[in-house]
Amino acid sequence: MKEIFDKFSAECSKMVTKRYSTSFSLGIYFLNEKLRDPIYAIYGFVRLADEIVDSFHDYDKVLLLSKFKRDCFEAIEEGISLNPVLNSFQYVVNKYHIKIELIELFLQSMKMDLKQELYTPEKYDQYILGSAQVVGLMCLQVFTEGDRKQYEKLKDSAMKLGSAFQKVNFLRDLKADYYTLSRNYFPNVTLSRFSNVEKELIEEEIEAEFKLALIGIRQLPDTSRNGVYLAYVYYKNLFHKIKRSTAEKIMSERIRISSAHKFGLMFDSIIRYKTNTI
């Protein structure tokens, strides 16, 4: 029965999420139960595409990404895929009426990672739109459960949150991106002489986006607010740790939040949620 395969597919996406991201897994756990599998499905899809461009160095990445894209859209059209992660993703896309345009933009950003790009401000914005902001919109489509008015109201905040998360990731992963993958997403920045002044300018952008994102988080439905807030709290703390580090330090090591600290943040966010002090 296909119901068994669909359940297995959802479990695969959940496993992908848990293997690759403890922080997002914690956030998803604090969503209403009915929203968890759809968000696991979105994360699983995003993670597989990201792995193609970031990890499969001994294979033809262009071919793999092209095949992944073709399989994705065939799955959405046909309502099934033998790839369990794509099968769970197509179910969510069709159930929640996620726009194909958002998926196209995401895959276009992944394609940009297949070659060394010289990022202008325009290309930087394009990459962040596709790699992060549209993912926030896919999740928002699930959170608002078809309420178009609420979706439009929260759309800008969801995009700001996605952008802030991505820019924090850029700073966190600066060493690996530059030395291992030969990438530099920041326009008009030469990472071989990355300075504290340049770092602070990027941080000002992120700080402003976090502030706008929090406004939207506070207006999310009860079914999703706590989970999204937990992800926000984790990233905000990671951001503050990066801010306390020098440009030289983040070019030489990956800044992390310990597992113990993550669980502390989890309990703090629960208390804030329960006492309505978000």
Contact 136, 159 (CB under 8 A): yes
CA dist list (Å): 127 to 42, 162, 223: 18, 12, 30
Average pLDDT of the chain to the nearest whole number: 93
Tokens of 232: 């926000």
pLDDT tens track for 206-224: 999 999 999 999 999 999 9
Task: Please identify which residue in the block is written with the tokens 């801010």.
Answer: 243
Map out the domains of the chain with their CATH numbers.
2-274 (1.10.600.10)
Instruction: Give me the pLDDT at residue 24, please.
Output: 84
Amino acid in the structure at residue 119? Y
Q: Say how many C-beta atoms besides its own lie within 10 A of residue 272's C-beta.
A: 15
Describe the chain by its helix, strand, coil percentages, rounded to 5. Answer: 80, 0, 20
Average pLDDT over residues 126-132: 97
Instruction: Give me the pLDDT at residue 23, please.
Output: 80
Contact 123, 189 (CB under 8 A): no
Contact 44, 16 (CB under 8 A): yes
Buried b (16+ CB within 10 A) or exposed e, 250-259: bbeeebebee
Would the pLDDT of 264 be above 90?
no
pLDDT tens track for 145-182: 999 999 999 999 999 999 999 999 999 999 999 999 99
Tokens of 248: 């030289």
Would the pLDDT of 185 be above 70?
yes
Contacts for 54-59 with beta carbons within 8 Å, 24 or more apart?
A: 54/113, 54/181
What predicted TM-score, i.e. pTM, was given to this entire model?
0.92
CA nearest 171: which of 120, 246, 266?
246
CA nearest 162: which of 186, 184, 130, 120?
130
